[in-house]
Structure 1
Amino acid sequence: MATRDNIEDWLARTAQGDRAAFKLLYRDTSAKLFGLCLRILNDRAEAEDALQEVFVKVWHGAGSYRANGLSPMTWLIAVARNHAIDRLRRRQAAAGGMDEAAEIADARPGPEAQVMARAEAGRVVACLDELEGARAEAVRGAYLDGETYADLAERFSVPFNTMRTWLRRSLIKLRECLER
């Protein structure tokens, strides 16, 4: 499984026209993006076409991804999701009905919910900042970037069970912080 750093590196190299990096990016992210396209479009052939178009967009737009503290997978998922929704809207418009696409677009949180989500995210970030640096980084890796416990144990040079303990104790501290 690719790490956040791998994906960021591959995106940066793809932005410079590196085909080998693009191949690695495709290899390690296409299954997840295909699943997203398939879930939205509910048609395997159309999802395959959408995935191909998503990676064309990634090839041409990799330079627009900036390492801003957010997961590169979040950026890739947003590209795939938006593209699949656009395809769904076009399909519905061609069929004469926009109901399903409109429901997807309307499912996004409104302004009030977005403000509340940002405030809650700010609380989570503040609580993460209370954790010791390596443990906070491990929590982000496991629960925001999808890294496995084994990958994290290797990255931090600790035994697997130690990583499990770090994460369990860190989550307990986060919960206590958020309950204050």
Structure 2
Amino acid sequence: MPDSHPIDPEQLRGWLQAAARHDAPAFRLLYDATSPKLFGFALRILGKRELAEEALQDGFVAIWHGAASYQAHLAAPMTWMTTIVRNKALDLLRRQAHDVGIDGPVFDEGVMAALHDPRATPIDALLISRDAKALAYCMSMLEGEHRQVVGLAFFHDLSHSEVALQMAIPIGTVKTWIRRSLERLKACLAKGERA
């Protein structure tokens, strides 16, 4: 449902400044004004309501604790908060991928950005580069349509139903292909670690 009232960045800055002073009522106003958009953003990444709720909650805890570090000249308030919620959602996504047995990182835009991040230390870049290369190799071993399904779901943050719609295949097929592909990726990555 589109928001008919745009969020005023100046008002958000004011609420963030008040939250930095531990003003709980101002933080509540900030939450009420931004949580629907931030929840929708997290839901798009995670595809599951309960995970999006968790990412949103973790994000607002981080916003509350980090409000004093917000620097208006570096980012608009909504951009800053969206980045925090995105990072929390990606953390959940990585944890889920690990729980289903993928030991490497989720291969997403964050990994690619980190490879080219001028602030990354050489060690960070080396570790990310090694893991990204291993995952890219294992992805290349998947069958074409299976690789595309995994790519759409994990690289482009599409839900299973969005992948099914985009590829014009049943959602059950998408789920099966993702499950099988994750198993193959797990085996491939495990083999690479032993090598």
Counterpart in the other structure of 1:86: 91
- Per-residue deviation at 1:100? 8.0
State how far apart, in whole Å, the 1-side matches of 2:106 and 2:37 are. Answer: 22
* Structure with greater proportional helix content: 1
Match of 1:14 among 16, 19, 25: 19
Equivalent-residue separation in structure 1 for 2:108 and 2:35 (angstroms): 26
Quote how far apart the aligned CAs of 1:31 are: 0.8
For structure 1, which segment, 95-104 or 30-39, has the greater mean C-alpha deviation from structure 2 after superposition? 95-104
Which range moved further: 102-111 or 27-36? 102-111
Task: Please identify runs of 4+ aligned residues in structure 1 that moved more than 3 A.
Answer: 106-112
Q: CA deviation at 1:108?
A: 3.6
Aligned residues: 112
Q: Give % identity.
A: 41
TM-score, normalisation: structure 1: 0.57
Aligned counterpart for 1:52 among listed residues 57, 63, 75 = 57
Whole-angstrom CA distance in 1 between matches of 2:53 and 2:109 = 20
**Which 5+ residue runs of structure 1 have no aligned equivalent?**
113-180
- TM-score normalised to structure 2 length: 0.52
**Residue aligning to 1:4:** 9
The within-5 A match list for 1:166-177 is none
RMSD (Å) for aligned C-alpha atoms = 2.1
Residue 7 of structure 2 aligns to which amino acid in structure 1? A
Residues 76-155 of structure 1 correspond to what in structure 2 (within 5 A)?
A: 76-97=81-102, 101-108=106-113, 111=116
Please list every run of 5 or more consecutive structure 2 residues that lacks an aligned counterpart in the other structure.
1-5, 118-195
Which deviates further from its counterpart, 91-100 or 35-44? 91-100
